[in-house]
Amino acid sequence: MAAEHHETPDAETLANVVETGLHEGAIVTLQAECEVEYDGRTSGYLGPGDRLLVCKPDGTLLVHQPDGHKPVNWMPAGGTVSARESDGDLVVVARRVNPRERVEVRLIEAYGVTRYDADDAAEYEESGTEDEMHAYIEAHPDELEEGLRVVEHERETKYGFIDFFATDSEGNPVVVEVKRIQATLNHFDQLKRYVSLYEDNDEVRGMLVAPSASERVRRALRDSGLEFVELAEFDRDATGTTDAKLSDF
């Protein structure tokens, strides 16, 4: 069970889930009415209210109010998060030494706590913009297929913009969807949706263009009679930055 939830836990259960969970490498999230104090570069106080707490095994603590993407209080990785009982309440404390600071959360009423044994080795891979790739394709349609001719760049449809509406050497229409990142099933869905707009034309083809694609995506495309074109020039180098620049071509 990757996620184990306890409803309206008592202070003892809470302390146990927080301490054991973090120690064993799990993420612990709590829904609770609480008050928060911060002490460090300044001092601060947040009166009682319902908040979401996220505790990570690396010492991260996030206190989220119902609005906004920034936590109202937080502590970065590097310190420790611990829990103790005090007068029947649970107190969660995150602290670090350099700089010396402390966030202390007193739980007035706990609605739920979840221990989440998350396994994640993936790293975010950033690529350049799709605009660069569009410009390249517009200038070199032959790179996708010999004889391909761009009829319209960004054709508006009821499902949004088709990246390229093209024709092949036989004159058949080709719907081209371009992705700057490894192709996903979402991209397959999108191409399929666009191609369906022309389904009264038997000869219409659909082409997903991306630096790479998993076998799962390639299979989904094949099974639907759609094609994948790998533009490896836009694949990434080992450092995680993009290799290809427009000026390279």
Instruction: List the interface residues with a copy of itself, window 55-84 (CB under 8 A).
Output: 56-58, 60, 62, 64-69, 71-77
Q: Please list, in sequence order, all residues whose beta carbon lies within 8 angstroms of the beta carbon of residue 229, skipping any fewer than 6 positions away.
A: 144, 145, 207, 208, 209, 210
Q: Which is nearer to a copy of itself, 19 or 104 (CB)?
A: 104
Strands 160-167 and 149-157: antiparallel
**Is 46 a binder of a copy of itself (CB under 8 A)?**
yes
Q: How many residues does the chain have?
A: 249
Q: Tell me if 50 contacts a copy of itself by CB under 8 A.
A: yes
Q: Least CB distance from residue 170 to a copy of itself, whole Å?
A: 31
Find the shortest distance in angstroms from Cβ 178 to a copy of itself: 10
Q: Which helix (H) or strand (E) holds 238?
A: none
Give the number of other CB atoms < 10 A from CB of residue 114: 16
Q: Name the segment binding a copy of itself (CB under 8 A); options: 22-30, 137-145, 150-158, 199-207.
A: 22-30
Residue nearer to a copy of itself on the CB measure, 106 or 205: 106
Footprint (CB under 8 A) of a copy of itself, residues 96-125: 104, 106, 111-112, 114, 116-125
Q: Is 98 helix (H, G, I), strand (E, B) or coil?
A: coil
Q: Which of 123, 115, 94, 104 is nearest to 25 (CA)?
A: 115
Which residue in this structure is represented by tokens 């449809």?
157
Determine, following the binding rule CB under 8 A, whether residue 128 of this chain makes contact with a copy of itself.
yes
